[in-house]
Amino acid sequence: MRGSALALVSLLLVALFAGCAGKQDPGGSTDLSATSTQTGAKALDTPLTPLATAVAVSGGDWVAPGASLDVTATPPKDATGDVTYTWLYGPMGGTAPITVMKTTQTAMIDPGSNASITFDQAGVFLEHCHPHPWMRQNVTILDNGQPPVTVVTHFHDGASVGDFRFVPDTLVLPKGSTVIYQNDGSQAHQTMLMQQDAPVTQLSLKGASGQVSASGSGWMRVMVIAQDAAGRFGRAERDFYVNPLPTPLTAKYDGSYNLTAPSPVPAQPPSPLGSSPDVRAFTSERAGTLFLNFTSSDAVAGTAPTDPAGDQSAISVDVTGKGGAPKVASTSAPSDKGSLTGRVGAGDYTVTLTPVAGEMGTYSATLTIVYDPIPPPANPYSDPSTQLGSAGMSGMNMPGM
């Protein structure tokens, strides 16, 4: 695995985006005149557009620990030549502790100048340009034992918002690597760390598909980074919650009843008594689907012809919220057996079993709630471009302003 990481990081990234670092001038910028690059200056006049990449992972948003997940990356249709895939696994962004980097931003970089950041911690880093927060770059730093490298990324701007970008906008580097931010635009730019996330692990998976074991606990993610022969990157990820699935709620209700009174003439059908509903309470911890199966029987019917009425056992069943609302499920007519299905949320409920016919009757009901595997909310990225109000936007260097 380390050999493949070295090939990916050292050969592809270094050859495509930079060589060794150049000289430092007194102002702190790096002299890039001696820096070799395979793409050349003309390539920067037509920025490399990101590859359109997507990833699919089998299973829902909540998966059990150790589950085998099928992962598939959609091969980019706009790719040039062969596409290589790097698969990564780790905590979802913003959900795990981190060790903060020593340097998280550059100073303002004037046109024609540059500044650098050394990534001394492994992790996944989302950066943006502070004056232009819609400009984004993703830097993934792997603690894979490979030597650090120095690469160059470029600021571009222009007449429209779409012209403002990092080139490239995706990097995968070993821990300790340095990124030089060269301002090739006409406006001042500044790199600022927007989100630093816990480290991810490079998987041994190769190619566009395979299987990944759901390890860890809490919110996790599978990431795939695609790169074509022209040096363009595409990045996609799928987040999911790893934890034992919710244990279903089960309850069993048994009871007996007698709806008849002794008759002075045994040959006559017995006279009915009033019904006695049996109310059982339960609590649902979360939303889910309720299943209830019930049966009732008339013990006296087994002694016919002593019981000329025959088997008249029947009950009606109603499932409602505490106090009678909401109504979850009910029998359409009294019966000696049946099943109900309904939806419940978190809260208190009752099952009401009402005998309708039968003497010396008994009943049994089994309730099961299969809870929805809906995970708790995840902590999303903090996005300054959506958090700034109109007052904050007035201070940005928007095109045409």
Within a domain: residue 169?
yes
Mean pLDDT computed over 226-249: 90
- Phi-psi category of 216—alpha, beta or left, where left has phi over 0 and alpha has psi -120 to 50? left
Sheet with 233-242: strands ordered across:
62-63, 233-242, 218-227, 84-91, 201-202
Shared domain for 146 and 39, answered yes or no, is: yes
- Is residue 268 over pLDDT 50? no
Within a domain: residue 378?
no
- Is residue 384 over pLDDT 80? no
- Is residue 371 over pLDDT 70? yes
CA gap 59, 377 in Å, rounded: 18
- Is residue 300 over pLDDT 90? no
What letter would DSSP give residue 340? E
| Residue 9 confidence class, pLDDT cut points 50, 70, 90 | very low
Within a domain: residue 376?
no
CA gap 150, 179 in Å, rounded: 6
| Top-confidence range, 136-145, 282-291, 356-365 | 282-291
Shared domain for 140 and 276, answered yes or no, is: no
Shared domain for 227 and 264, answered yes or no, is: no
Q: What is the pTM of this model?
A: 0.68
- Is residue 377 over pLDDT 50? yes
Q: Could you write out the DSSP letters of every residue in 265-321?
A: STTSPPEE-----EEEEEEESSSEEEEEEEEEEEGGGGGTTS-TT----EEEEEEEE
Within a domain: residue 208?
yes
User: Residue 152's closest CA among 270, 34, 283, 236?
Assistant: 34
| Residue 234 confidence class, pLDDT cut points 50, 70, 90 | confident
Within a domain: residue 395?
no
- Is residue 361 over pLDDT 90? no
Give me the pLDDT at residue 96, please. 80
Within a domain: residue 357?
yes
| Residue 394 confidence class, pLDDT cut points 50, 70, 90 | very low
Reported as a single tens digit per residue, the pLDDT across 248-258 is 999 999 988 77
Tell me what the pLDDT averaged over the chain comes to: 79
Which of 195, 218, 244 represents a domain boundary (last residue)?
244
Amino acid at 116: S
How many angstroms separate the most distant Cα atoms in the chain? 118
| Residue 401 confidence class, pLDDT cut points 50, 70, 90 | very low
Quick one: tokens of 257?
A: 């009843």
- Residue 361: Cβ-neighbour burial (10 angstroms; 0-12, 13-18, 19+): buried
Mean pLDDT computed over 55-65: 89
Give me the pLDDT at residue 19, please. 34
Residue 221 contacts residue 378 (beta carbons within 8 Å): no
| Residue 93 confidence class, pLDDT cut points 50, 70, 90 | confident
Alpha-carbon torsion 73, 76, 82, 88, what sign?
negative
Quick one: tokens of 172?
A: 């995968």
Shared domain for 230 and 269, answered yes or no, is: no
What letter would DSSP give residue 105? B
Mean pLDDT computed over 271-291: 82
| Residue 71 confidence class, pLDDT cut points 50, 70, 90 | very high
Domain range for 283 is: 249-371
Shared domain for 123 and 263, answered yes or no, is: no
Paired strand residues for 250: 368
Shared domain for 75 and 195, answered yes or no, is: yes
Residue 281 sits in a domain whose CATH number is 2.60.120.380
Shared domain for 223 and 349, answered yes or no, is: no
Reported as a single tens digit per residue, the pLDDT across 102-122 is 899 999 999 999 999 999 999
Within a domain: residue 74?
yes
Q: How far is CA 45 from CA 32, 41, 397, in A?
A: 17, 7, 22
**Structural domain count of the chain:** 2
Within a domain: residue 254?
yes
